[in-house]
Amino acid sequence: MSLIRQISLLIAVSLLVGLTGALGVSAGSLRTVLQDQARIKNADNAQALALAVSQQGGDVALIELLMSAQFDTGHYQALRWIQSDGKVGFTREAQAKPSQAPQWLQQALPLSVEPGVAQLSNGWQAIGQVEIKTHLSYAYDTLWAALVQAALWSSALTVVALLLAQWVLGRIRRPLDALVAQADAMAEGQFLTVPPAKVPELRSLTEALNATVGRIQRMFEAQTEQLGLLRQQAHCDALTGLSLRKHFLAELASAMARDDLPPRGAFMLLRLEDLAGVNRLLGREATDQVLALVGQALSQYCQRVPGSLAGRLNGADLALWLPAPDVLQDSAEALAEALRLALQQAAGQGGQGAIRLALGGVELAREQPLSYWFSQADEVLAQAEGRAVGQTLGMALRVADSAADDRALPSGERAWRAQIEAALAQGHTRLLQYPVLDREGHLLHWECPLHLGLAVGGGDAPPDFVNAQTWLPLALRTQLTADIDLAAVGLALQLTQGDGQMRALNIAPASLLAHDFLPRLRALLRSQPGAARQIALEFDVHAAHAKTADLLRELSRAVHPLGVSVGLEHAGAQVQQMERLYELGLDYIKLDRSVLLGVHEDASRAGFVRSLVLFLQGQALQVMGEGVDDARDAKTLIDCGLNGLTGPWATGARA
């Protein structure tokens, strides 16, 4: 129970106790007053009757007539004349009038009144005594009416007092609510300050918390800046700002292994010819400036093309990879124009004719090994170097065919849509399972990519199950990702209902844009609440950058009450730069293999990973690693504090 409610309850109980006590005291006092009044009335009426009787000269008839008249007008319960010899000379009794007071009141507050007694005489001769007893029903009526009126007035005053107390508590509660909101915001990575409270006791607390928020924000910013510096040192070339060879190769290997990228991509190699000669002619500082300009051109291109990668392979060689088919020619020409401008700028500073740059590019299927990519690109680069003789920039390009594929996959957007819809309608879906292990080697959850069964053979041929690399691009174009993801969730719920093991599903960020996706998802999860608590939904890290960030936060708030976890996958080295990361309601983050590969032999990379893990865990996030294939890397990553690992190493360890 909240503090305000406890105070409200205390005030209400105090007022109730006070009201009850006041009514009790009033009832007791009023009972005493009524008893005294009834007793005095009995005594006074008895004396008045005795005085009147003494003037009748002992005439019994007149005395009886007088007593009868007195009884009829005095609201008496009983009147008796007891003669001096002990005989009853006159007696009258009346049936008690029913009282309006409830019976429980008469039992709780009984009125005990002695009868009025007076001596009768005829001159100096005693003729007996008279006893008078008044009806008490009138007293009970008066007592009940007085208590009801007192209760009504007390209740009205109590309501007024409660309203006044609630108003005062409301003024106190507002600054408390602001402090609670400030604490909640701080837990979510937001740094809010609140105006000082007007209540003196709360003003000091508000100022102290504002100061604490400021210190935490400065510490957070300093930690983010330090992490950025570590990333630069571990992954980036100091001169060009591009990825170092080891990190570029790790990024490229990670991109080649992902299922959510197109099946083909473009790869370009750039070489500054005769670097040693340029260095002798222009000097080291000017040569470094040339390399920096080339690196800047590549970096700007990567910023314009999401998902592209650029790196410096050695002193004179640089590389660019584009995760898209059919863009090699246009991209190379655009990049060549940017490089010409950069080289002209460098030539204007005294290097006219000395700087020559060769650019060679190939487009291949992602299924080809990296060694094949580099060998093909090197061959084309050699051709470009021949064309660069006598000119500033030489360029050669080639599109290489991928290995033949005998599967009759559908062609055309309409055919793809029909194939995907048929697979969903006929239940041709299956989830693969790859283990995610904790530090002790125990299963945390299964990673479950979805495969669709497409009828590629025609006729009655069984469906051919293919991964997302094949069908996802067309599913995005045909806006079927929401239906596919809901089918995956339904399949995972069925599997989890059977074995109770936790499963993580890849959800396309595009599904968040479907207006009916979240309601349908909640309904599906609610249909199996027990299994839903063992489901995790994973989104590509780009879902936290793009226009889907607000939708992702809304989904997290909607599914968390159902026990569903939400995480990001493929998080790279720039994850600490995401300003809204901790507003998304995430439970965990999976670091991309490009950040993790080779950490056992590179202290700077291991130091960066350790700092990144501490940074994320400090924000109440679990941190896991993807694509780990080396046992030595796995041990180093566990030492760095990762909560879980997946990849070929985990699959082998699980087996």
Count CB atoms within 10 A of the CB of residue 559.
Answer: 21
User: Do 235 and 244 form a contact (C-beta atoms < 8 A)?
Assistant: yes
pTM equals: 0.67
Give per-residue pLDDT as tens, 514-559.
Answer: 999 999 999 999 999 999 999 999 998 888 876 788 899 899 999 9
Average pLDDT over residues 204-232: 77
What pLDDT is stored for residue 489 in this prediction?
A: 95
pLDDT band at residue 433 under the 50/70/90 scheme: very high
Continuous segment of H or E residues that includes residue 512: none
What pLDDT is stored for residue 403 in this prediction?
A: 42
**CATH code of the domain made up of 413-654:** 3.20.20.450
User: Do 235 and 608 form a contact (C-beta atoms < 8 A)?
Assistant: yes
pLDDT of residue 605 exceeding 70: yes
What pLDDT is stored for residue 628 in this prediction?
A: 92
Continuous segment of H or E residues that includes residue 590: strand 588-591
Residue 398, strand partner residues:
362
What pLDDT is stored for residue 411 in this prediction?
A: 60
In the chain, how long is the greatest CA-to-CA distance? 163
Task: Round to whole Å and give the CA distance between 269 and 339.
Answer: 13
pLDDT of residue 244 exceeding 80: yes
Residue ranges of the domains in the chain?
3-156, 238-399, 413-654
* Strongest mean pLDDT among 221-235, 339-353, 505-519, 581-595: 505-519
What's the CA angle centered on 39, arms 33 and 45, to 5 degrees?
A: 130
Closest CA to 430 of 406, 448, 413: 448
pLDDT of residue 140 exceeding 60: yes
What's the CA angle centered on 585, arms 580 and 587, to 5 degrees?
A: 115
Residue 75 half-sphere exposure, CB side, CA atoms within 13 Å? 9
Task: Round to whole Å and give the CA distance between 235 and 612.
Answer: 13
Average pLDDT over residues 31-51: 85
* Residue 445 in tokens: 């959850």
| Listed range (59-68, 439-448, 529-538) with the worst mean pLDDT | 59-68
pLDDT band at residue 389 under the 50/70/90 scheme: low
What pLDDT is stored for residue 354 in this prediction?
A: 65
Higher local confidence (pLDDT), 516 or 20? 516
Chain centre distance of CA 437: 26
Tokens 């062609």 found at: 411
* Residue 57 in tokens: 């000269």
Continuous segment of H or E residues that includes residue 435: strand 434-438
pLDDT band at residue 154 under the 50/70/90 scheme: confident
Higher local confidence (pLDDT), 395 or 219? 219
What pLDDT is stored for residue 438 in this prediction?
A: 93
* Residue 165 in tokens: 């107390």
Tokens 């294939």 found at: 629
pLDDT band at residue 401 under the 50/70/90 scheme: very low
pLDDT band at residue 576 under the 50/70/90 scheme: low
Give per-residue pLDDT as tens, 301-345.
Answer: 888 887 889 999 988 899 999 988 888 888 888 888 888 877 777
SS3 content of the chain, % helix, strand, coil (to 5): 55, 20, 25
| Listed range (8-12, 319-323, 595-599) with the worst mean pLDDT | 8-12
pLDDT band at residue 405 under the 50/70/90 scheme: very low
Torsion from C-alpha of 635, 640, 645, 648, nearest 10 degrees: -40
| DSSP designation for 541 | G
Task: Round to whole Å and give the CA distance between 138 and 35.
Answer: 11
Task: Round to whole Å and give the CA distance between 131 and 117.
Answer: 5
C-alpha distances (whole Å) from 336 to each of 40, 359, 362, 395, 470 are 121, 8, 15, 8, 32
* Backbone region of residue 585 per phi and psi (left: phi > 0; alpha: psi in -120 to 50; beta: other values): left
User: Do 622 and 643 form a contact (C-beta atoms < 8 A)?
Assistant: yes
pLDDT of residue 406 exceeding 70: no
Q: What residue type is 535 in one-letter code?
A: I
What pLDDT is stored for residue 99 in this prediction?
A: 76
The CA radius of gyration of the chain, in Å to the nearest whole number, is: 47
7: helix, strand or coil: helix
What pLDDT is stored for residue 25 in this prediction?
A: 85
H-helix segments, 585-642? 593-596, 603-617, 631-639
Task: Round to whole Å and give the CA distance between 293 and 288.
Answer: 9
What pLDDT is stored for residue 379 in this prediction?
A: 86
Mean per-residue pLDDT over the chain, rounded? 83
Cβ-proximal residues to 160 (8 Å cutoff; 6+ apart), any chain? none
User: Do 374 and 364 form a contact (C-beta atoms < 8 A)?
Assistant: no
Count CB atoms within 10 A of the CB of residue 560.
Answer: 13
| Listed range (172-176, 274-278, 395-399, 424-428) with the worst mean pLDDT | 395-399
Chain centre distance of CA 624: 21
Q: What residue type is 502 in one-letter code?
A: M
Give DSSP secondary structure letters for 566-589. EEEEEE-GGGGG-TTGGGS--SEE
* Strongest mean pLDDT among 96-105, 149-158, 228-237, 521-530: 521-530
**CATH code of the domain made up of 3-156:** 3.30.450
| Listed range (73-87, 144-158, 185-199) with the worst mean pLDDT | 185-199
Higher local confidence (pLDDT), 395 or 537? 537
User: Do 598 and 250 form a contact (C-beta atoms < 8 A)?
Assistant: yes
pLDDT of residue 563 exceeding 90: yes
| 238-399 under CATH 3.40.50.300, yes or no | no
Continuous segment of H or E residues that includes residue 620: none
